[in-house]
Amino acid sequence: MTVDSVLDTLRRVPRQVARRRRPAVEAAVKQLLRAALGYPVYEHRSTTKGEYRIDDLARAAGTTTRNVRAYQERGLLPPPRRVGRTAIFDDSHLSRLTIIGSMLERGYTSAHIREMLTAWEHGKDLADVLGLERVLVQPWDEDPATTMSAGEVLALAGTRKAVDRLVADKLVRRQGDSMVVARPKLLQAFAEMRGYGMAMDDVLELHERIVPALDDISRLLVEAGARQVAESFQPDAAPDSEQLTELIATLARFRSLAMTSVTATLARSIESTVEGLLGDYLERFLDNTPMPDAM
């Protein structure tokens, strides 16, 4: 499925009937986004439903054949069925790849993922698995600070003025001839946005506007978790070590749950916004494209 083929199909939609036009536009948006993100918008070439050769499996999972082989070597993916010299995978492998990809995005290492999958496969009690997950979410900081040279930071920021603003926002701290970057992944993302033509001042303006809103969301979620445990404390008495342990464990688990729920909600909100914006562009495309019989 190519962009040209999607647009060609869209050109043939009746312009006069709005109720038929918008669903067609929305379908085109989803096809274009899936293609851009590397998801399959075609039927795979397997000979039997639910069976995949390695390249088809990788495409269906949104990964690469190299990653599939690496997951097999690390014990994350069970071996495929062999038909002669051909490796045949099935839907269970596709499901497993989806889980692996999701956990890698959340910051788990291969070793952690293998432990979790092994626990589930051996039918461990859900509480045991959740307890294991509490251990695996460490360390808390998934974007740890790192030291860079002043030149490296300048290359990412673009200008000395932008570097000064990063320092003012406490994202960068000067340390002698070097600089400590508080969140290197965030700075890399800023640099990539700048590569798409956004001014660094605009990027930082967005960051400064978003952070207070995120802080408010975080405070609401964490305080809600703390209240659940605090209700069991004796009023006007210092909590004992057992209560503190319970509080810490609950907040650690609540952190994981809160991040999962907020990330999913934010992703869906962004997805809807992107789809709406692209849909508006395609509507204008239709308005400015001659009807097929006039071409």
Residue 152, domain CATH: 1.10.10
Same domain, 152 and 79: no
How many domains are there within the chain? 2
Inter-residue contact 258 to 217 (CB < 8 Å): no
Stated pTM of the model: 0.51
Q: One digit per residue, pLDDT tens: the chain, 295 residues?
A: 567 777 777 677 665 544 566 777 777 777 777 666 544 433 334 434 578 899 989 888 888 899 999 999 888 888 999 888 889 998 888 878 887 887 777 667 777 778 777 766 665 544 455 454 444 444 455 678 899 999 999 999 999 999 999 999 999 999 998 999 999 989 999 999 988 899 999 999 999 999 998 888 888 887 877 777 666 665 566 656 666 666 666 666 677 677 777 777 877 888 888 888 888 888 888 777 776 554 4
By CB neighbour count within 10 A (0-12 exposed, 13-18 middle, 19+ buried), where does 166 fall? buried
User: Per the structure block, which two tokens stand in for 192?
Assistant: 């990539």
Q: What is the CATH number of the domain that holds 119?
A: 1.10.1660.10
User: Domain range for residue 68?
Assistant: 51-136
pLDDT, one tens digit per residue, over 96-119 is 888 788 777 766 777 777 877 776
Determine the residue type at 101.
G
Is 151 domain-assigned? Answer: yes
Is 260 domain-assigned? Answer: no
The CA-atom distances, in angstroms, between 290 and each of 6, 11, 135, 213, 282 are 16, 8, 60, 45, 14
Same domain, 159 and 204: yes
| Sheet strands (E) in 150-276 | 172-175, 178-181
Boundary-marking domain end, from 79, 102, 136: 136
Inter-residue contact 181 to 172 (CB < 8 Å): yes
Is 115 domain-assigned? Answer: yes
Same domain, 114 and 167: no
Same domain, 122 and 107: yes
Residue 244 exposure: Cα atoms within 13 Å on the Cβ side = 5
Is 275 domain-assigned? Answer: no
Same domain, 149 and 160: yes
